[in-house]
Amino acid sequence: MVFLRTFAFRILLVFATLATAVPLFGAPPTRFVQLELEGNLYSLPDDAQGTVFSLYQPIEDDAALVEKVLGEQSRFRRGVYWAWRRIYPSTLRFDDLWLWGKVRYMELLAEKLGGCKAGVPCELMERRESAPRYLSKHPFFESPPGSAVGTPVSFASPEITTDRAWPAVSPGEAMARHDALLRATGLESPHFHVFVRLSKARLTAMREPLLAWLQRKNDEIFLAGIHSNIENASLMTLRPWTSATTQRARRILVTMARGPVKADWHDPADPKSVNLALRYWGSEENGDVLISIELRHERTTYDYHDSRLGA
């Protein structure tokens, strides 16, 4: 797929840029890749082999909640389950529910045990024994689009991430994980975080070349988007890297705070808000700092799959 090859090229380009920006500072910094995959259960592709529920299960398999879910369904669906029970006389479980029954079950479980918040691991679900070990123990869920801060999450909008203890150490490994998770869940909006651990001296030396590179690559992405369809210029998923973005990013890299800098995706000047984003994660005990370049694929009205942004 052209889209996947484009992403692989971008990751390799990020690695090469960060490793060679300032060659006088010794060995290349420690680098690794984390993956996020998000989407909506209302728009899964037809060839998806499963959903987020194939990889994660609720922390409680409550028969009473399953019965309540069934009681809310149509006569036809209740009849199907009645016949199923006559053939296989056993208590119905979470895994016996259809997709939207599972979503409803999670809503009821959240009412019983307390809901989940956007941006925080949802401890109402845990990784299945059969799921890859590199997945985080708990998935994330997002609030409905356009909702106010603090709105409960929608269990139809999952986000799965790789565990920090099991990062991919190469672009090829990251792409292989993406392919496997895409087939398993159908979630089609990937984010790749290319993490780089380096000394403060090296980050200072490579700061301006890095900012110039981010400006240039984001300009390419933005111009390709509006060239295809000028209406894309108004989309929040296709923002330009502006002079205000450069100033904000430079201030972050000059300050080099001890803790991570909280990003605001809704702020157009935030280095997080563009398609090729900069994130700062703070300093470590040995004095090194951790940054990441986030590569996001967001659907817009132009055909991203046929773009040649990495060429």
CB 127 within 8 A of CB 144: no
pLDDT tens per residue, the chain (311 residues)? 445 455 555 655 565 555 554 443 444 457 788 888 888 887 777 767 789 999 999 999 998 998 899 888 777 776 777 676 666 666 678 998 888 889 999 999 999 998 888 888 999 999 999 999 999 999 999 887 666 666 788 898 999 999 988 888 887 888 889 889 988 898 878 888 888 888 999 999 999 999 999 999 889 888 887 887 777 777 666 788 999 999 999 999 999 999 999 888 778 899 988 888 999 999 988 889 999 988 876 543 333 333 322 32
Q: What is the pLDDT of residue 307?
A: 35
List 56's β-bridge partners, or say none.
Answer: 127
Q: Tell me what pLDDT residue 121 has.
A: 92
Report the pLDDT value the prediction gives residue 306, as an integer from 0 to 100.
34
130 phi, psi to nearest 5 deg: -85, -10
User: What are the structure tokens assigned to 54, written together?
Assistant: 């194939």
In the sheet that holds 189-198, the strands lie side by side as 140-141, 158-161, 30-38, 189-198, 289-296, 276-283
Q: What is the 3-state secondary structure (H, E, C) of the chain?
A: CHHHHHHHHHHHHHHHHHHHCCHHHCCCCEEEEEEEEECCHHHCCCCCCCCHHHCEEECCCCHHHHHHHHHCCCHHHHHHHHHHHHHCCCCCCHHHCCHHHHHHHHHHHHHHHCCCCCCCCCCCEEECCCCCCCECCCCEECCCCCCCCCCCCCCCCEEEEECCCCCECCHHHHHHHHHHHHHHHCCCEEEEEEEEEECHHHHHHHHHHHHHHHHHHHHHHHHHHHHHCHHHHHCCCCCCCCHHHHHHHHHHHHHCCCCCCCCCCCCCCCCCCCCEEEEEEEECCCCCEEEEEEEECCCCCCCHHHCCCCC
Indicate the domain borders of the chain.
1-34+192-311, 40-187
User: What does the pLDDT read at residue 73?
Assistant: 75
pTM over 0.85: no
Backbone angle region of 146, left / alpha / beta, with phi > 0 → left and psi within -120 to 50 → alpha: left
